Amino acid sequence: MWANEIADRIIRERPNEKVYTIASGVSPSGFVHIGNFREIVTPFFIAKALKNKGKNVRFILSLDEFDRFRKVPGNIPSEYSKYIGMPYVDIPSPFSENESYAEFFEKRFLGELKAVGIEPECIYQAKEYRSGRYAQKIKLAMDKRFEIFDIIDSFRTQDASDGERENYYPISIYCDSCKKETKDIVSYDSQTGDIEYKCACGHVGKINIFSARNVKLQWKVDWPMRWQEENVVFESGGMDHSTTNGSHDVAERIAKEIFGFTPPIYEPYNFIGIKGGGGKMSSSTGNVLTLTDLLKVYDKHQILWFYAKYKPMQNFNLALDNDVIRYYSEFDRYVKSMFEGKLDEGNKEILSFTDVHEDYLKYPNFSYLATFLPIVNFNLDFLATLMQKENADPSSTYYKERLERAIYWVKNYGAEYQVNLLEDKNVEYYNSLTEEEKSWVEKTIELLNREYSTSDELQTELYSVIKYLNLEPDALKKMQKHYFEILYNLLLGKNQGPKLGIFLLAVPKEKLLSLLK
């Protein structure tokens, strides 16, 4: 599994670390989407792998609440444009009282992480900057501003403009008057650490690096500075930072040449899509699917499984369409095989990162729930009766949890999965059948007049209807498919539908007979 491979590499390259600090970070610019979640879950898996190998691990999450508010997301009131340029920590929450914009979105995201079993050590960057913790590093960066400029400039394709190097400073200041960001530095005294700045609002101010609480290093300098401060040995990053000559390449050189620190081992990760969804997810635009949304469809073990299955650089799509049924069945099958001792080592290793336990086998079949629900018109008592035939316990919390997700999925994403019985008999189609095909329908009616303990029992009987033909396996399979298509056309008016054994048990017998006779 890729996390174990990266953990082995970390140990091999950094064998003498007393504590292995694994870092992640997120900016509370809005609702954190499931693409950003890869920023957290990738190092989480690696931290877990290192712990499993007996290492002392520190897993940190940097909350970049001291970043400036860049634009108003689509799900935030438009009047928040007046706060653009201020740090998230100093903006009021749009959805709650007595807390900041940063606090609202941080609390929500940390709650989501906890819901999937992830509880990192949080580092609140506004607190760190305002405590003066980084003052010496800021002073160092200011004193080496020309060297930093030269490093950044070496990665650019265009030549620097006249005076750009002389006027470069690696900091931003939040104006004492309007509280918004300015990078317009008038003067800097390297002896005292005094800085004079001016802001677009007209304010001219003077601060000292060692006492100021409104100065911040710019991103490409801030990132390597934090690596050194926390002694980070591993971090991952999105493709926006990981391109050739991108911010990570710049940060690595600044770490080495300015801060004298060996950069952490780095692993880029790729984007995630939503099957059936459109557009790139972005917290700053408001186009998001959050962990809260995903937890309404999948449980925490399944969510971790999705991210564990794919190497960080592999793209993958999270399904909300009919593939949800397939993923539920696949995950349940793997879990069952694992606890029966039959699962291959590769998939067993992946499942070990999901913290799934043997009690998971108590969950009912999601496919049955999703199939039955629309057929019984969401009559939960009738549904419970049907599910008891499938060995489910409707009184258990496992049943109730999965039922809640099945209801949500069918109502919100499973429109194509819902089936509608024909109102009247499909006479024209029936008349087009051969006499032998009509005999199959008659045999089906006979089967429906019997009692069955489970849908599998009925399904087996359906498969046996045409076995008298004594066909070769491939030909028999093809003919069984044709037989099922006949039943679907008589009942639904189309060539396919839900698994017949489940479907026929869920529909009132009188209705079925009226369409088949």
pLDDT in tens, 111-141: 999 999 999 999 999 999 999 999 999 999 9
State mean pLDDT over 479-507: 92
pLDDT single digits (tens) 258-269: 999 999 999 999
Q: Is residue 490 part of a domain?
A: yes
CB 495 within 8 A of CB 485: yes
Confidence of residue 462 (pLDDT cuts 50, 70, 90): very high
Which residue from 73, 98, 102 is spatially nearest to 86, judged by alpha carbons?
102
- Provide the pLDDT for residue 241: 85
CB 165 within 8 A of CB 175: no
- Number of folded domains that form the chain: 1
CB 490 within 8 A of CB 423: no
Q: Is residue 438 part of a domain?
A: yes
Q: Is residue 476 part of a domain?
A: yes
CB 319 within 8 A of CB 276: yes
Residue 435: CATH number of its domain: 1.10.10
- 85 pLDDT exceeds 50? yes
**99 vs 517, residue with greater confidence:** 99
- 284 pLDDT exceeds 80? no
Calculate helix-pair angle for 300-309, 37-52, nearest 10 degrees. Answer: 90
- 286 pLDDT exceeds 60? no
- 365 pLDDT exceeds 80? yes
pLDDT single digits (tens) 437-447: 999 999 999 99
Q: Is residue 89 part of a domain?
A: no
Mean pLDDT score of the chain, rounded to an integer? Answer: 94
- Provide the pLDDT for residue 287: 57
- 278 pLDDT exceeds 50? no
pLDDT single digits (tens) 390-432: 899 999 999 999 999 999 999 999 877 777 889 999 999 999 9
Q: Is residue 460 part of a domain?
A: yes
Q: Is residue 503 part of a domain?
A: yes
- Provide the pLDDT for residue 502: 86
**375 vs 327, residue with greater confidence:** 327
pLDDT single digits (tens) 14-66: 999 999 999 999 999 999 999 899 999 999 999 999 999 999 999 999 999 99
Determine if the pTM surpasses 0.85.
yes
Q: Is residue 53 part of a domain?
A: no
CB 25 within 8 A of CB 38: no
Give buried/exposed letters for 124-140 (b at 16+ CB in 10 A, else e).
bbbebbbeeebbebbeb
State mean pLDDT over 350-357: 97
Residue 462, domain extent: 427-516
Q: Is residue 463 part of a domain?
A: yes
Confidence of residue 288 (pLDDT cuts 50, 70, 90): confident
The enclosing H or E element of 170 equals: none
